[in-house]
Amino acid sequence: MKPRRMLDIAPRLIVFAATLLLLAPTTAVAQEEGPGWKTRSPFRPLNLPAANTLRTGAGRPGPDYWQQKVDYRIDVSLDPTNQLLTGSETIRYTNNSPHALSTLWLKLDANLCNPDSEARVLEVPPLLFGDSVFDFTCSDGTGISLDRVAAGDRELEHEVMGTIARVDLPHPVPPGGRTEIEIDWRMTLPEYGYGRMGRDGTLYQVAQWYPRVAVYDDVSGWNLTPFLGAGEFYQEYGSFQVALTVPDNFVVTATGTIQNPDAVLTDEQQARLARADGSEDAVAVITGSEARSNRDRRASGSKTWRFAAENVRDFAFAMAPDFRWDASSYNGIRIQTFYRPEATLWEEANRMSWVTIQHFSERLYPYPWPHATTVEGPNDGMEYPMLTFVPTETTREGLYWVLTHEFGHEWYPMIVNTNERLHPWMDEGFNTFIDIESVEVYFEGEPYADAISVQPLELWADHSVPGTEQAMALSPDQQHDLFWAAYFKPALMLHTLQYEILGKERFDRAFSEYTHAWAFKHPTPADFFRFMEDASGMDLDWFWRGWVYSTARLDQAIGGVETTDDGVTEIRLESRGDMVMPAELRIEYGDGTSETLKLPVEMWKLGPEYAYRVPAGREVTGAQLDPREVYPDDDRANNAWSR
């Protein structure tokens, strides 16, 4: 889902607060330990699930790691007069777990729209999200009605429970075994689909449209957390063969590759696509004037578009009669943009997409699918494999921000497949973090690039409110400020880890290795923590505790400066909050020189006070903590001392 547009970025007000502190008495001050430091030191090990042969203590998939595979063959038709989807599907389920399974659980997320859904019954209030409001009441859809669930000739017992359904299998699927079930269903598409899908006139952005099998994993068994709207999705990988029948005046794009181009595209369009496949610059497959004249074409019948996709965790599609369609190629990947003729800002969107896909491919993991496509439309921003929905937007900056964000989701969670419904910071947060660098690349030399990098720290001041802030480890349904806890606080956390704790090179290498190690798998938070510690060579339990599992606050302070009888000057540093961080200390000397020291976080291991000793013979005239003001320090007034 999208984060707030980031345009209103005021220059950060930098306040130098130089506070004169009284000299402390020259007698040695007992090192007082902060409350609980003796038994609840911030350096105590995190209480993580025990490592095993599936998930190792080094944070990697173990030799016994397994996950299920779910393949779909779907025939579906969309009647735009009645907004009705009618489908039948065959699900082939491969049980790679060591357990026999006698039931399959289905996800029917579109049932959020049903009157008896948890979200409707509880009248879940709209999610306020920056400038946007996400209303999950979804009054005009019908959800998914299951008309028939069967295995061959045999009807299967099943029960729908809100956004999930249980299907009893005729025989348990043994470990290593397979089963196939068939489902016929109907669904009326909502105009506004809870911020994840929808339509605007004749433009459709369709998702959560077919019965999907829930994830069965080694961590939780079946993952059946109900869909309340704020939490997103968790899916198995598999292949899709989808035949989508729509009126023949529509142009369709989807997850997957078109299997029958001769039947659905003109010769001219195919020739233009072939040209685009050899071009880094956008080629118009459907021009603006063609799109405008297509708008007036009436359907004379229907057309079936056939798509196939391998190794994806979901399938979405979009369609309209009047799409403009631009295409280019990056490294053999077709980069596609679909937009209405009025959305003129989108003429740059193909270039933006190209740069985005190249940047993330080089930085994180090579883009693994044959196309990367984004569709302009009513949705505020949403991501599916190979396909993203992005709003029209009114500025280049706004368009790039949402476009790169939705494409960033191709890496997290489409490639690194976490449980978004439980751990939004590993999905939206990782993504917001990588998006910032993507903006810096595209807008290099422009004000937006400079403004974006300090945005998370600026937002900290507004959103990190003591007493109301919630730990980012909580699920989205529990978050009052999802914008902060799931998007920008994790971005600030990773940026701090990258630049202030590990250093860029050490961090980037570990983060890319994590992405490779868990590509097309299901990592948990513990796997990420362990991996980053193992790959970077640094114990980071104290870091994850402060940032992920608590709302700990940082307040570094200079408690006093004193010169002992032997001429040594002690600068007494204090960690007054319950978050610890390394310290950066700038010291000014009487001879006019100065130096900046990086003190590792281990300085706080014996307690929240640390005396930095300046050898005899050097007169200290000033000292300042965090002189670059890169930390979210609660009280900057106590960061500086001068004689």
Q: Contact 5/401 with Cβ under 8 angstroms?
A: yes
Shortest distance, CB of residue 353 to Zn ion, whole angstroms? 16
Closest of 129, 214, 207 to residue 486, by C-alpha: 129
Q: Contact 558/638 with Cβ under 8 angstroms?
A: yes
Shortest distance, CB of residue 162 to Zn ion, whole angstroms? 24
Which H/E stretch holds residue 169?
strand 164-173
Span of 1-9, 41-49, 434-442, 557-565 interacting with Zn ion by CB under 5 A: 1-9
Shortest distance, CB of residue 433 to Zn ion, whole angstroms? 12
Judged by beta carbon, residue 326 or residue 428, the one nearer Zn ion is 428
Which residue has 């491919």 as its token pair?
361
What CA–CA distance (Å, rounded) separates 184 from 88?
4
Number of residues that bind Zn ion (CB under 5 A): 2
Amino acid (one-letter) located at 588? E
What CA–CA distance (Å, rounded) separates 303 from 599?
67
Judged by beta carbon, residue 42 or residue 523, the one nearer Zn ion is 523
Taking CB under 5 A as the rule, does residue 218 contact Zn ion?
no
Span of 51-59, 100-108, 349-357, 427-435 interacting with Zn ion by CB under 5 A: 427-435
Closest of 143, 148, 172 to residue 90, by C-alpha: 148
CA–chain centroid gap for 238, Å, is 21
3 DSSP assignment? P
Judged by beta carbon, residue 1 or residue 426, the one nearer Zn ion is 1
Span of 27-35, 56-64, 247-255, 421-429 interacting with Zn ion by CB under 5 A: 421-429
Judged by beta carbon, residue 399 or residue 535, the one nearer Zn ion is 399
The residue from 376, 428, 578, 588 that contacts Zn ion (CB under 5 A) is 428
Judged by beta carbon, residue 46 or residue 415, the one nearer Zn ion is 415
CA angle 171, 176, 179 (to 5 degrees): 40
CB atoms within 10 A of CB 433: 24
Span of 214-222, 309-317, 424-432, 542-550 interacting with Zn ion by CB under 5 A: 424-432
What CA–CA distance (Å, rounded) separates 282 from 298?
29
Shortest distance, CB of residue 272 to Zn ion, whole angstroms? 32
Q: Contact 149/115 with Cβ under 8 angstroms?
A: no
Closest of 537, 539, 536, 531 to residue 62, by C-alpha: 531
Span of 97-105, 314-322, 422-430, 450-458 interacting with Zn ion by CB under 5 A: 422-430
- The 3-class secondary structure across 274-288, one letter per residue, is HHHCCCCCCEEEECH
Shortest distance, CB of residue 428 to Zn ion, whole angstroms? 5
- The 3-class secondary structure across 112-165, one letter per residue, is HHCCCCHHHHCCCCCEEECCEEECCCCCCCCEEEEEEEEECCEECCEEEECCEE
Taking CB under 5 A as the rule, does residue 1 contact Zn ion?
yes
CB atoms within 10 A of CB 480: 13
Shortest distance, CB of residue 409 to Zn ion, whole angstroms? 6
Amino acid (one-letter) located at 244? L
Length of the chain: 643
Judged by beta carbon, residue 1 or residue 474, the one nearer Zn ion is 1
Judged by beta carbon, residue 93 or residue 234, the one nearer Zn ion is 234
Shortest distance, CB of residue 436 to Zn ion, whole angstroms? 13
Judged by beta carbon, residue 376 or residue 428, the one nearer Zn ion is 428
Shortest distance, CB of residue 432 to Zn ion, whole angstroms? 8
Binding flags for Zn ion, 169-208, as an x/- string (CB under 5 A): ----------------------------------------
Shortest distance, CB of residue 2 to Zn ion, whole angstroms? 6
- Helical axes 489-496 vs 428-442, angle rounded to 10°: 70
What CA–CA distance (Å, rounded) separates 553 from 58?
29
Would strands 371-376 and 387-390 be described as parallel, antiparallel, or unpaired? parallel
State both tokens at 582.
């390394």
Shortest distance, CB of residue 383 to Zn ion, whole angstroms? 6
What CA–CA distance (Å, rounded) separates 458 from 451?
10
Span of 25-33, 192-200, 420-428, 583-591 interacting with Zn ion by CB under 5 A: 420-428
Span of 102-110, 426-434, 491-499, 603-611 interacting with Zn ion by CB under 5 A: 426-434
CB proximity list for 16: less than 8 A, separation 6 or greater: 640
Judged by beta carbon, residue 428 or residue 584, the one nearer Zn ion is 428
Judged by beta carbon, residue 434 or residue 579, the one nearer Zn ion is 434
Q: For Zn ion, which residue has the nearest CB?
A: 1
Shortest distance, CB of residue 569 to Zn ion, whole angstroms? 50
Shortest distance, CB of residue 234 to Zn ion, whole angstroms? 15
Judged by beta carbon, residue 403 or residue 557, the one nearer Zn ion is 403
Shortest distance, CB of residue 237 to Zn ion, whole angstroms? 20
Shortest distance, CB of residue 328 to Zn ion, whole angstroms? 24
Judged by beta carbon, residue 232 or residue 626, the one nearer Zn ion is 232
What CA–CA distance (Å, rounded) separates 195 from 159?
27
CA angle 162, 164, 170 (to 5 degrees): 130
CA distances from 482 to 2, 3, 314 (A): 11, 10, 24
Judged by beta carbon, residue 211 or residue 429, the one nearer Zn ion is 429
Q: Contact 150/156 with Cβ under 8 angstroms?
A: yes
200 DSSP assignment? E
Judged by beta carbon, residue 3 or residue 523, the one nearer Zn ion is 3
Span of 33-41, 351-359, 428-436, 499-507 interacting with Zn ion by CB under 5 A: 428-436
Judged by beta carbon, residue 402 or residue 581, the one nearer Zn ion is 402
Shortest distance, CB of residue 431 to Zn ion, whole angstroms? 6
What CA–CA distance (Å, rounded) separates 192 from 379?
8
Q: Which residues sit at the interface with Zn ion, rule CB under 5 A?
A: 1, 428
